[in-house]
Amino acid sequence: MLEIQRLAVLRDNYIFVLIGSAGRAAVVDPAIASPVLELLEKRKLSLEVVLHTHHHSDHIGGTPELLLHWPKAQVWAAAADRERIPLQTRGLGAGEQLDLFGRPLHVLSVPGHTRAHIAYYLPRVGEAGPELFCGDTLFAGGCGRLFEGTAAQMWASLQQFAALDPDTQVWCAHEYTQANLRFALSQDPTNQALQERWQQVKELRARNMATVPSRIDLELATNPFMRCKDSRLQAATGFIDPVEVLAEIRTRKDNF
């Protein structure tokens, strides 16, 4: 069974440490190295793989220091981002299937936030449930800003996530949920599932508790960026085409 440790760092980032058997460890999007190194030392773990979803500094900033301590660790990232993630030892592309500590790991190409953004999906295996590490493409209650990609690309990326097992745990890289849901309610105020989620998230954040991971089924019910075919959001935006709905909602969110 794969253990996932969530590390809260910087203002609102999450780093994820994946722990397999025999003290083997991998880390997803290490913004900084120190908390990862502390966990590795405390648990007597060996860092074998660093996985990156995209090139932004708050996702790769800790990698050089980690490699000073664990020089044999592999660095996996999008092959298309080799120039922007220069330490990678294995360049990845859409559809690749890897092995991570005995679990199959699928690589998804999910441009939108950046042009070469990828995500990592661990499908269900026996009693081990499905897990998604989606960086800044999908957030709990939201999606990433379109810094390099288009609304059409983001919609296609989110549709890939929508097709996953609904029980998939969504490990997104920032604690943005409360702000995302506040905006979502402004666009979809009669959504009962969204209203209930908003109350739950407010209570969690009042106790300084994390709202990540989410789940795919929860995002499909409450995340406006996953619901661009919904008639209420079409009416709210004045568009029918889901790409146009997403583009309009994204513009509104950027200015909210």
What pLDDT is recorded for position 160? 98
Of the listed 52, 55, 117, 174, which one is catalytic? Answer: 174
Of the listed 81, 113, 117, 188, which one is catalytic? Answer: 113
Q: Verify whether residue 174 is a known catalytic residue.
A: yes
Kindly state the average pLDDT of the residues 142-156: 98
Q: Verify whether residue 136 is a known catalytic residue.
A: yes
> Which residues, 6 or more positions from 207, have their beta carbon under 8 angstroms from its beta carbon?
none
Of the listed 52, 55, 59, 117, which one is catalytic? Answer: 59
Of the listed 29, 81, 136, 188, which one is catalytic? Answer: 136
Kindly state the average pLDDT of the residues 199-210: 98
What pLDDT is recorded for position 86? 87
Of the listed 52, 55, 58, 188, which one is catalytic? Answer: 58
Residue-wise pLDDT for 69-123, tens only, equals 999 999 999 999 999 998 999 999 999 999 999 999 999 999 999 999 999 999 9
What pLDDT is recorded for position 90? 97
Of the listed 52, 55, 56, 117, which one is catalytic? Answer: 56
**Average pLDDT value for the chain:** 98
Q: Verify whether residue 69 is a known catalytic residue.
A: no
Q: Verify whether residue 59 is a known catalytic residue.
A: yes
Smallest Cα–Cα separation from 119: which of 87, 163, 152, 151?
163
Q: What is the pTM of this model?
A: 0.97
Task: Map tokens 């075919």 to a residue.
Answer: 229
Question: How does DSSP assign 106-139, residue by residue?
Answer: EEEE--SSSTT-EEEEE--BTTBPPEEEEETTEE
The domain limits of the chain are 3-254
Residue-wise pLDDT for 43-55, tens only, equals 999 999 999 999 9
* Fold entry, domain 3-254: Metallo-beta-lactamase; Chain A (3.60.15)
Residue 1 banded pLDDT, cuts 50, 70, 90: confident
Q: Verify whether residue 117 is a known catalytic residue.
A: no
pLDDT at 23 over 90: yes
Q: Verify whether residue 188 is a known catalytic residue.
A: no
Of the listed 54, 81, 117, 188, which one is catalytic? Answer: 54
Q: How long, in residues, is the chain?
A: 256
Q: Verify whether residue 217 is a known catalytic residue.
A: no
